[in-house]
């Protein structure tokens, strides 16, 4: 029998790294678990909570008129999950509700959440973000077409505005909202001061903004060794840069698997140079 000592050494890309994850893991998607699998020591400190919208009134009303729509547009996996959950609560079959609609979604992760629930999207852009979806929509005639945007409260307006310019008729219904987590972050500030974090991972602009709010003025600049920052996408990266912080990693494909892969690649290159 071969012992462990007889086996060739296996490279563990993130071994020894201490990484802060600023989002809440879900049963469907655990960024922390992915990082731990690659050898990282992970601290999970959510900066935002995802909760139901202030009111379901508009969504519930729109559901009753779903057959009148041409398109349903999902801008996140969270939107898919909360939409389907609400439909089930109302006693509707999500597959039946969306069976007569063309489905568009912002990226592969959102598409996967739909597909897992038996709903196949027609339009999934190669470039994740609303801008990529808008580009993909150029091939369709949206004039007087009714589009149902299923998204967060207070979403970015770029998607709705661009669809209106194509003369589409827009109904936007919130199915969730991001709110700041209220907690005592003293222990986290100490870890930053004592250089006990190598990376911070942000998956949304709201997480960046809420993280910045727990820092005293000049705190980040006072760190002699600041953690590297990884962002899930361009909008989140822009939020980081708006505070004068450097973005050290951002995957071309906006999902957690490619985010972890990007950090692994960066750390392996650093290891090879030693």
Domains of the chain and CATH, by start: 12-41+182-273 (3.40.50.10090), 51-179 (3.40.50.10090)
The confidence score (pLDDT) of residue 131 equals 64
Cβ of 102: how many Cβ atoms within 10 Å? 16
The confidence score (pLDDT) of residue 7 equals 32
The confidence score (pLDDT) of residue 107 equals 80
Q: What is the mean pLDDT of each run of 10 residues along the chain (274 residues)?
A: 40 93 83 95 95 96 96 92 96 95 88 92 75 79 95 85 92 94 94 97 94 95 95 91 96 87 91 62
DSSP letter at 48 equals: E
The confidence score (pLDDT) of residue 194 equals 95
**Residue 28 has which token pair?**
């469907």
The residues, any chain, with a CB within 8 Å of residue 9's CB and separated by 6 or more, are none
Kindly provide the residue ranges of all beta strands, DSSP E only, lying in the chain, ordered along the sequence.
18-21, 41-44, 48-51, 71-74, 102-105, 146-152, 169-180, 199-202, 228-231
């Amino acid at each position: 029998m071969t012992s462990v000592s007889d086996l060739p050494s296996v490279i563990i890309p993130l071994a020894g790294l201490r990484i802060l994850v600023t989002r809440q893991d879900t049963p469907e998607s655990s960024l922390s678990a992915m990082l731990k699998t690659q050898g990282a020591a992970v601290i999970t400190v959510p900066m935002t909570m995802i909760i139901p919208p202030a009111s379901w009134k508009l969504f519930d009303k729109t559901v009753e008129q779903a057959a009148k729509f041409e398109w349903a547009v999902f801008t996140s996996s969270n939107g898919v999950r909360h939409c389907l959950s609400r439909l089930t609560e109302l006693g509707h079959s999500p597959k039946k509700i969306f069976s007569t609609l063309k489905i568009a979604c912002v990226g592969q992760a959102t598409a996967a959440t739909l597909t897992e629930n038996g709903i196949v999207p027609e339009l999934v852009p190669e470039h994740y973000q609303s801008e990529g979806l808008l580009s993909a929509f150029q091939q369709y005639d949206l004039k007087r077409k009714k589009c149902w945007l299923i998204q967060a409260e207070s979403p970015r307006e770029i998607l709705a505005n661009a669809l209106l310019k194509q003369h589409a008729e827009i109904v936007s219904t919130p199915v969730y909202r991001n709110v700041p987590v209220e907690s005592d972050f003293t222990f986290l500030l100490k870890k930053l001061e004592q250089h006990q974090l190598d990376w911070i991972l942000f998956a949304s602009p709201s997480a960046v903004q809420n993280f910045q709010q727990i820092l005293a003025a000049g705190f980040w600049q006072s760190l002699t060794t600041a953690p590297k920052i990884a962002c899930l996408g361009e909008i989140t990266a822009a939020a980081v840069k708006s505070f004068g912080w450097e973005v050290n990693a951002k995957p071309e494909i906006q999902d957690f698997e490619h985010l972890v892969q990007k950090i692994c690649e960066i750390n392996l290159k650093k290891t090879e140079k030693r």
